[in-house]
Amino acid sequence: MTHINDTTTLTAAGIAASVRSGETTAVASVQRHLDAIAASEADVHAFNLVLADDALSRAAEIDAAVAEGQDPGPLAGVTVALKDNMCTRGIPTTCSSKILGDWRPPYDATVVTLLRDAGAVVVGKTNLDEFAMGSSTENSAFGPTRNPHDTTRVPGGSSGGSAAAVAAGFASVSLGSDTGGSIRQPAALCGTVGVKPTYGAVSRLGLIAFGSSLDQIGPFAHTVDDAALVLEAISGHDPGDSTSIEQPPLDLRSTLAQGVEGLRVGRITDLPAGASPDVQGRVDEAFDALAAAGATIVDVEVPAFGYGLTAYYLIAPAEASSNLARFDGVRFGTRVSAPDTNQMYMATRTEGFGAEVKRRIMLGTYALSAGYYDAYYGRAQKIRRLIANDFAAAYAQADVLLTPASPTVAFELGDKSSDPLAMYLCDTYTIPSNLAGDPAMSVPFGTGDGGLPIGVQLLAPALADATMFRAAAALERHAAQNGVSS
Amino acid sequence: MSVQPLYVNDDDFFPSNDDHERWEHQGYEMVVGLEVHVELDTRTKLFSASPNSFGDEPNTHIDPVSLGLPGALPVLNRHAVELAIRLGLALNCTVQKSTFARKNYFYPDMPKAYQISQYDEPINANGWLDLPDGFRVGIERGHLEEDTGKSTHVGGAGGRIHGSDYSLIDFNRAGVPLVEIVSRPDIRHPEQAKAYVSELRSILVAVGASDAKMEEGSMRVDANVSVRKPGADFNTRCEIKNVNSVRSVGRAIEYEAKRQIALHEAGEPVVQQTRHWDESDGKTHTLRSKEDADDYRYFLEPDLVTVDPGEDWIERVRAALPPLPAVRRRELAEATGQPADSESVMLVVERDQDAYVLAAGADGGDVALALKHVKESAELADAVPSKHLAELTTMESSGAVTATQAKTIVEAMIAGDHDADPEAIAAALGYEAMDTSELESLVDRAIAEQPDAWEKFCAGEGKAMGALVGAVMKASKGQADGKAVTALLNQKRA
């Protein structure tokens, strides 16, 4: 079954412009999206929590501000869905895990504050693979999210709820977090734009950590311009996040229309195999489209790319094993009573965490253990440096790189849920950017098997987000003007 | 991750230590290194804006970071770094680029289930501390870390978590900045350990890094103790915790060294373990063995970046460092002619009254006498302007008043009599210097009245002099100068 509501034809930029000019109201914009939710959410299950009343009253405030001649900001009246691992003051934040219970954060994540300050309206908290660990949004304590293009299929993950919310038209834009591809892969599977910005471009304060050195928040949107609009609003230095880069918000939209004349687009000749023919076909067409728009295609090598997955599955679980240790039943969330402290920890964590989270905590604990550190975590860190060096060398020859985002189109629910390794392979093409800290994004580019969306991935060196967006806009224009095969 | 050796053992580094007394028991010596945790005297916590304050209502100085709430992130307190640099420079350390790591373990008062601590790249490395007697103790490192919360275990035995009915946790202390100062295993005598702790405390207070109060827990000492035959290789060591006073430091390591010596002598192994010092029975008790030790799974803290203070900052801190206690003792010693490790010099510098003594000297007084009075009367410095002390010491050294009278005048000055003017006080008390002939007649009278005492004194019995001097003092109503009386008696005997 398909659930693509007519709200998907509205852009965030368009809504904001008409709300700011008084042509339409924020309440109307919000109500349209709430109607779409009412029509399709029962089948899609994009949300853990829909904040209908909050959203309508916030929208009314925005309309009142406009009526008084104030400017509510660049996202005035734009509906936004938040992945449920971003803290919202007084509103349950679950990470799709039982362990958080009914915990309500006493603070908003920096991105939430920035979105609200820009006039956006939060319509709900979206489903995810528990603690962002997964590629299908099936690892949720609250049940899976389904792909709005075909509800027998997964939306990808871990930000599957946020991807599905935009794809179904439940919100104009949404935020996800990307630790190894958790924005780009579901964006590809749901046919939306999805961006993982440069590490440090967007504050992580208030994002419940999975792999702190890899996690980055980014937008889902219908268009490249909308993604840029949101990213401009949420990026910039945050003194509350020590890894936040000390620079002003990203400037993306001013160069979007510049085209790719003279831009060097790299084709990674030693990219790991694994992309299905339909996906590979769209990637090849994307190279042709950029060449036709004036870009130069260059061959580059990134020899360590293929080791990314292995290194990632040591580094991310290692950090996760430490990040998730605070869920101990002592100060917040679920507590299962037991005769003594150690048994309470064990009972709480046994009850509170799902199987995939436990698997990764064990993997990570092992990788950091005395006697194994050098062989696992230490070696993974060396690979991480190699990957960063290889990318740097490739970027001496190319301005951006182009690869598949996901190896396949959306797969069916249950397909990979009993085979963790097959699931991990979904992130083959997305993981290396997280290890390098570089920006990358998925752009919808035609469809593949079963008429399902395909996304191609653009990669760029750190802080070259604007260049990446310029290439993405060129692909989007090509798809709109010339169409893409399906 | 292995800890890099930061220090090359260089014999020239400790040129003078061989001359110092070593503790010895049944042919063994003790090998002791101390790990001292000090709470830095910052306004706020190491990674959040909650106040760093002791003794307040539990759980009033908390925030998402101190509680380890999901989504919270640490931001390093710049002032804590500054204080760490200060104490590092005061301990002759190299101040270097440093990183933070996570030390992972579960405990209810450890909110994140990991402690953020510097591990393989500490901010301060490779320094030393000279004890007042010149013994040099190497400093391996002085690294920044956060404190834990404080647990109170209610019910059960001995206030331990095991067997307690329930536990209360106060997170006010969670995230308070600490520096852990790790000495090299250079200490060979309980007195050296005590002197090390005292001297470290003085330095910390002098540079404003910490109030270093052992009784309030803002300075906590753990001792690593092993024993060996001199010159032999190091043996297995035990770590002693809960050493809460300078005196306990000496007692605990001496007990522990003797315990280990007894094991060696009995042919039994010393097991590497953490032991708990019990002040009440004067013994150490097993806390946990190495086999029970946590695997802390250290790794680089991804939420923080490298701390690189840079030469400029370090040099600014160095330039602003106040004179350290050792330097001040040396100055006071040189000015007064007393040894730098004499009781009076040590005490007066510890009380922060050395500048006052030197000021009395600068005001024209006798600085040695000023030292004596300040040492004996701790209130002088706060109560009396240095120029009045200077005047008093001049009166005393010129013989205008006797030592006994001077002491009485000091008390009156502290009490604020006559605006603390020593001449006015002396006049009011009727103190006048006796002329020599008057004094001599009193001495003659004392000899005449106590012929036995005089005979004994002449026969070389020093004690007999006391009776004669006492008689003169009594007859003069305390106005006679004891020193002058003694001189006259000696003169007459000769």
Q: What is the DSSP letter of B400?
A: S
Residue B12 has pLDDT above 60, yes or no: no
Instruction: For residue B5, tell me if it sits in a domain.
Output: no
**What is the distance of C-alpha A430 from the center of its chain?**
11
C-alpha triplet B361, B365, B370: angle, nearest 5°: 75
Q: Does residue A383 sit at the B interface (CB-CB below 8 Å)?
A: no
Q: What is the ipTM of this complex?
A: 0.96
Residues B281 and B383 in one domain: no
Mean pLDDT of A239-252: 97
Sign of CA dihedral B437, B442, B443, B447: positive
Residues B268 and B372 in one domain: no
Q: Calculate the dihedral angle through the C-alpha atoms of B260, B262, B268, B270, rounding to the nearest 10 degrees.
A: 0
Quick check: A103 and B70 CB within 8 A?
yes
Of the candidates B250, B284, B318, which is a domain's last residue?
Answer: B318
Mean pLDDT of A32-53: 98
* Collapsed DSSP state (helix, strand, coil) of residue A300: strand
Contact list, B295 vs chain A (CB under 8 Å): 369-370
Instruction: For residue B144, tell me if it sits in a domain.
Output: yes
pLDDT tens digit string along B263-304? 999 999 999 999 999 989 999 999 887 766 779 999 999 999
Residue-level pLDDT at B159 = 67
Is residue A214 very low, low, confident or very high in pLDDT (cuts 50, 70, 90)?
A: very high
The rounded distance, in Å, linking the Cα atoms of A414 and A434 is: 27
Mean pLDDT of B318-346: 94
The share of chain A scoring above pLDDT 70, in percent, equals 100
Contact list, A326 vs chain B (CB under 8 Å): 68, 70, 111-113
Distances (CA, A) of B268 to B57, B240, B264, B437: 49, 20, 6, 78
The rounded distance, in Å, linking the Cα atoms of A154 and A170 is: 17
Residue B222 has pLDDT above 50, yes or no: yes
Q: What is the DSSP letter of A203?
A: -
Mean pLDDT of B388-415: 91
Instruction: For residue B3, tell me if it sits in a domain.
Output: no
Angle between helices B343-350 and B354-362 (to 10 degrees): 100
The partner residue sitting opposite A365, judged by closest CB among B64, B111, B297, is B297
Q: Looking at CA atoms only, how far is residue A339 from chain B in angstroms? A: 10
Name the B residues in 334-373 with CB < 8 Å from any A CB.
none
Residue-level pLDDT at B1 = 36
The share of chain B scoring above pLDDT 70, in percent, equals 95
Percentages of chain B per state (helix, strand, coil), in multiples of 5: 40, 20, 40
The rounded distance, in Å, linking the Cα atoms of A183 and A163 is: 8
The partner residue sitting opposite B114, judged by closest CB among A87, A106, A322, is A322
Q: Does residue A152 sit at the B interface (CB-CB below 8 Å)?
A: no
The partner residue sitting opposite A242, judged by closest CB among B112, B162, B304, is B304
The rounded distance, in Å, linking the Cα atoms of A104 and B324 is: 51
Is residue B74 very low, low, confident or very high in pLDDT (cuts 50, 70, 90)?
A: very high
Q: What's the mean pLDDT when you consider all of chain A? A: 97
Mean pLDDT of A291-315: 97
The partner residue sitting opposite B113, judged by closest CB among A319, A325, A368, is A325
Closest-CA residue of B relative to A93 is B70
Instruction: For residue B111, tell me if it sits in a domain.
Output: yes
In contact, B9 and B184? CB cutoff 8 Å: no
Residues 6+ apart with CB under 8 A from A68: none
**What is the distance of C-alpha B25 from the center of its chain?**
27
Residue B8 has pLDDT above 80, yes or no: no
Mean pLDDT of A188-206: 98
Residues B249 and B366 in one domain: no
Sign of CA dihedral A129, A134, A135, A141: negative
The rounded distance, in Å, linking the Cα atoms of A378 and A368 is: 9
Mean pLDDT of B182-205: 96
* Collapsed DSSP state (helix, strand, coil) of residue B51: strand
Mean pLDDT of A200-218: 98
Residues B339 and B293 in one domain: no
Quick check: B169 and A330 CB within 8 A?
yes
> Domains in chain A, start-ordered, CATH in brackets?
6-303+389-482 (3.90.1300.10), 306-378 (no CATH)
Mean pLDDT of A334-339: 94
Is residue B394 very low, low, confident or very high in pLDDT (cuts 50, 70, 90)?
A: very high
Please state the φ and ψ torsions of residue B122, each to the nearest 5 degrees: -75, 155
Number of domains in chain B: 3
Residues B26 and B174 in one domain: yes
Please choose, from the candidates A146, A175, A161, A41, the residue with its C-alpha nearest in 3D space to the C-alpha of residue A96: A161
Q: What is the CA radius of gyration of chain A?
A: 21
Is residue B7 very low, low, confident or very high in pLDDT (cuts 50, 70, 90)?
A: very low
The region that residue A440 occupies, defined by phi over 0 for left and psi between -120 and 50 for alpha, beta otherwise, is beta
Residues B235 and B342 in one domain: no
Q: Looking at CA atoms only, how far is residue A42 from chain B in angstroms? A: 29
Residue A485 has pLDDT above 90, yes or no: no
Residues B406 and B461 in one domain: no
Looking at the DSSP bridge assignments, the partners of residue A50 are: A124
pLDDT tens digit string along A351-370? 999 999 999 999 999 999 98
Residues 6+ apart with CB under 8 A from A267: A287, A297, A298, A299, A300, A401, A402
The region that residue B217 occupies, defined by phi over 0 for left and psi between -120 and 50 for alpha, beta otherwise, is left
Residues B332 and B382 in one domain: yes
Quick check: A106 and B304 CB within 8 A?
no
The rounded distance, in Å, linking the Cα atoms of A398 and B471 is: 106
Quick check: B70 and A95 CB within 8 A?
yes
Q: Does residue B303 sit at the A interface (CB-CB below 8 Å)?
A: yes
Of the candidates B375, B409, B429, which is a domain's last residue?
Answer: B429
Residues B390 and B489 in one domain: no
Instruction: For residue B396, tell me if it sits in a domain.
Output: yes
Q: What does the block give as tokens for B4?
A: 């890099």
Q: Which range, of A284-293, B140-149, B428-437, averages the lowest pLDDT? A: B428-437
Which CATH number do you get for residue B460?
Answer: 1.10.10.410
In contact, B282 and B274? CB cutoff 8 Å: no
Please choose, from the candidates B103, B481, B160, B141, the residue with its C-alpha nearest in 3D space to the C-alpha of residue B293: B103
Of the candidates B271, B290, B318, which is a domain's last residue?
Answer: B318
The rounded distance, in Å, linking the Cα atoms of B41 and B58 is: 19
Please choose, from the candidates A67, A59, A177, A70, the residue with its C-alpha nearest in 3D space to the C-alpha of residue A122: A59
Beta-strand relationship, B166-170 and A440-447: unpaired
In contact, B385 and B359? CB cutoff 8 Å: no
The rounded distance, in Å, linking the Cα atoms of B209 and B123 is: 15
In this prediction the pTM is 0.90
Residue B398 or residue B234, greater confidence: B234
Q: What is the DSSP letter of B351?
A: T
Q: Looking at CA atoms only, how far is residue B149 from chain A in angstroms? A: 12
The rounded distance, in Å, linking the Cα atoms of B400 and B390 is: 14
Q: What's the mean pLDDT when you consider all of chain B? A: 90
Residue-level pLDDT at A486 = 60
Please give the residue range of the domain that contains residue B486: 436-493
pLDDT tens digit string along A411-431? 999 999 888 888 899 999 999
Burial zone of B308 (CB within 10 Å; 0-12 exposed, 13-18 middle, 19+ buried): exposed
Residue-level pLDDT at A358 = 98
Residue B124 or residue B428, greater confidence: B124
**CA end-to-end distance (rounded Å), chain A:** 19
Residue B434 has pLDDT above 80, yes or no: no
The rounded distance, in Å, linking the Cα atoms of B406 and B425 is: 10
Instruction: For residue B462, tell me if it sits in a domain.
Output: yes
Please state the φ and ψ torsions of residue B286, each to the nearest 5 degrees: -60, 130
* Collapsed DSSP state (helix, strand, coil) of residue B171: helix
The rounded distance, in Å, linking the Cα atoms of A114 and A205 is: 12
Is residue B5 very low, low, confident or very high in pLDDT (cuts 50, 70, 90)?
A: very low
Q: Does residue B295 sit at the A interface (CB-CB below 8 Å)?
A: yes
Burial zone of B216 (CB within 10 Å; 0-12 exposed, 13-18 middle, 19+ buried): exposed
Please choose, from the candidates A66, A181, A162, A116, the residue with its C-alpha nearest in 3D space to the C-alpha of residue A441: A181
Is residue B344 very low, low, confident or very high in pLDDT (cuts 50, 70, 90)?
A: very high
**Preferred mutation among A86, A322, A327, A363 to probe B, highest tally of B CBs within 10 A:** A322
Instruction: For residue B2, tell me if it sits in a domain.
Output: no
Residue B2 has pLDDT above 60, yes or no: no
Looking at the DSSP bridge assignments, the partners of residue B152 are: B168
The share of chain B scoring above pLDDT 90, in percent, equals 71
Residues B240 and B134 in one domain: yes
Please choose, from the candidates A171, A175, A236, the residue with its C-alpha nearest in 3D space to the C-alpha of residue A207: A175
Residue-level pLDDT at B487 = 83
The rounded distance, in Å, linking the Cα atoms of A42 and A145 is: 10
What are the catalytic residues of A?
83, 158, 182
Residues B423 and B485 in one domain: no
Residues B231 and B161 in one domain: yes
Instruction: For residue B307, tell me if it sits in a domain.
Output: yes
Task: Give the DSSP H/E element, type plus range, for residue B402.
Answer: none
Name the A residues in 211-230 with CB < 8 Å from any B CB.
211-213
